Amino acid sequence: MVECPQARRHVDAMRRLDQLNFSNSYARLPEPFHSRLRPTPLQGTHLLSFNPAAAELLDLDPLESLRPEFTHWLSGQAPLPGSEPLAALYAGHQFGHYVPQLGDGRAILLGEVQNRRGERWEVQLKGAGLTPYSRRGDGRAVLRSTIREYLCSEAMHGLGIPTTRALCLFGSDEEVWREEVENGALLVRLAPSHVRFGSFEVFYYRRQFDHLRRLADYVIAHHYPELREDENPYLSLFREVTTRTARLIAQWQSVGFAHGVMNTDNMSILGLTLDYGPYAFLDDFDPGLVCNHSDYQGRYAFDRQPDIAHWNLSRLGQALLPLLGEPVESGVERANAVLDTYAPDFHAHYQALMAGKLGLRERQAGDAPLLQDLLQLLAAQHVDYSNFFRTLGRFDSAPGARNAALRDLFVEREAFDRWAEDYRARLGAEQSDDSLRRHAMDRINPKYILRNYLAQQAIARAQQGDNSEIERLLRLLQAPFDEHPGDEAYAAAPPDWGRRLAISCSS
């Protein structure tokens, strides 16, 4: 039998869990940055789902998930060879108010794995027990919220949005109290870094500026090495984080993703989507959607996310001021100049993404009003956001074409007809080809998103011991632009019971 050399090398690169190239660069930082401790195993831990796509990031052989040692090591029942477990310290602004100490209250970082491409991936256990930062918490996560993060992080990756990843999901027999008794669970989460805005804030507000500089040097050395030779690498770091955050939020807005808890401790220094709590993807287009039922003032409403990200960046800029040069006024001026780039960068990226969703190849003066009119129409008519754009790819631009599938999404079909005439004219202005346009639009407008009702169905089944919906959704969400014949029901708008499900911060 002749084997492909490339395939042979790929197989040879796969490793057992205890053979991974483990280290922990964050553990080299001094004691104030973290606390060393081992995970506290859950009772009756068992593997519920394993994600081969994430395992590949670690060069981990998927067959490892079948070994008893896999569960022992990754659930904290036995120390994983080479790991140096720790919980990280950070602070943050929660709902606009500064909280001086937060930290990993239930997450424990085992270390980082360097793969054959030279990438480093931190391996973190979420729900691994009490830490010095647990405050009044129990250090646990429950099955409900863990399934939601497991699925959504992979869904976001499938959509091409920067995010943490999920290697596997463990269930347990241990009972955990939230609003009611639930089963405890454990998520194994991957990211190049879990450092967040709040990691800098804690040292700024404690006036521990040497630690602040040490953290900034660490982040630059490990994640932004190209900045080391800049005249002011700390200002360059702030500029890079601002750019990445602007583009991340533009992606959120374009796919209709509401995070729900955009506290500064949930904002990644790498521009990743971090900490999936009471999130939601838009069903009916509602710009003011508040998906977190604890957000009584609507601070983190969908349409406020771009402004909140700017506010959060201003908190990061404040925290970095001691590193931006003397006098302080000059540092403030430099930081504000960086912040001033956020809005134009966000809008440029958002407009480009939305032009793609509309199937437009060129930028023309009337595009912004065309988009704004459409969004106002979708909101007024309560049209399903994702299904509209996916169906728009089938738009027939021929004069007089009725486009019945699109019209039927609207209560007032004539209102759509009026917008469609403007859209038809705009397509004609760039001599758009319907077939080519549909192909391009299907690569940017997903057919499948993680609607809250789908997640709830998977949770309900898993609570009864049936994990099949987790596996099915994982498969669909990792390829959200494909058709998946036979699974079209998963692209449908939610049933009445599944609309506007209230999602809690408790997890």
Please give the Cα distance from 218 to 261 (Å, whole number): 27
Do 300 and 261 form a contact (C-beta atoms < 8 A)?
Answer: yes
pTM: 0.95
How confident is the model at residue 503, as a pLDDT? 79
**175-206 pLDDT, tens per residue?**
999 888 999 999 999 999 999 999 999 999 99
C-alpha of 19 from chain center = 29
Question: For residues 42 and 50, what is the distance between their CA atoms, to the nearest angstrom?
Answer: 18
pLDDT band at 9 (very low <50, low <70, confident <90, very high): very low
Cα 239 to Cα 375: distance, rounded to the nearest angstrom:
31
What percent of the chain is predicted at pLDDT more than 90?
Answer: 89
Is residue 283 annotated as a catalytic residue, yes or no? no
Q: Catalytic one among 59, 265, 275, 284?
A: 265
pLDDT at 506: 60
Percent over 70 (pLDDT), the chain: 96
pLDDT tens sequence across 148-168: 999 999 999 999 999 999 999
pLDDT at 5: 40
Interval 68-98: pLDDT, tens = 999 999 998 998 888 999 999 999 999 999 9
Which pLDDT value is given to residue 501? 77
How far is it, in rounded angstroms, from Cα 312 to Cα 324?
18
Residue 12's pLDDT band (cuts 50, 70, 90): low
- The stretch 334-363 carries a mean pLDDT of 97
- Please enumerate in sequence order all residues whose Cβ is within 8 A of that of 303, keeping only pairs 6 or more positions apart, or say none: 287, 288
Helix (H) or strand (E) holding 223: helix 209-223
- What's the confidence (pLDDT) of residue 178? 87
Cα separation, 47 vs 65, whole angstroms: 8
